[in-house]
Amino acid sequence: MKQIHYRLTHSIIAASRGVAYANGDDVAEAVASAVVDEISTDVEITAGGVTMHLAAWLNPDHWESDWQEALDGSSFEEYVAGLVTSEEA
């Protein structure tokens, strides 16, 4: 199992309302996904000395330019690979 150490460094989550849209029967997943989408830019995560919001972790391709800036041009994949501190077989 791979270990990756992180800290939640900032979180501002205010009360809000939203609507979850469910395709099919998985209503719980639709609600959870809608909530995560709503708060994803309000939660900051620090790992390996780099702080980015949850949305960037969930969709690194969409936030690629932000990652490149935060990583001084390094790739997200190299950065993530460097976060693994141990791996059990």
Residue 19 lies in a domain: no
User: pLDDT (tens digit, 9 = 90+) per residue, 28-69?
Assistant: 999 999 999 889 989 999 999 999 999 999 999 999 999 999
Residue 76 lies in a domain: yes
Residue 37 lies in a domain: yes
The domain of 30 spans 2-14+26-87
What are the residues facing 8 on neighbouring strands?
45
> pLDDT exceeding 90 applies to what percent of the chain?
54
Q: pLDDT averaged over the chain?
A: 89
Distance CA 86, CA 75 (A): 21
User: Please, which residues have CB within 8 angstroms of residue 35's CB and are 6 or more apart in sequence?
Assistant: 18, 20
More confident site: 88 or 45: 45
What domain count does the chain have?
A: 1
* pLDDT of the residue at 13: 79
Mean pLDDT of the 17-38 span? 88
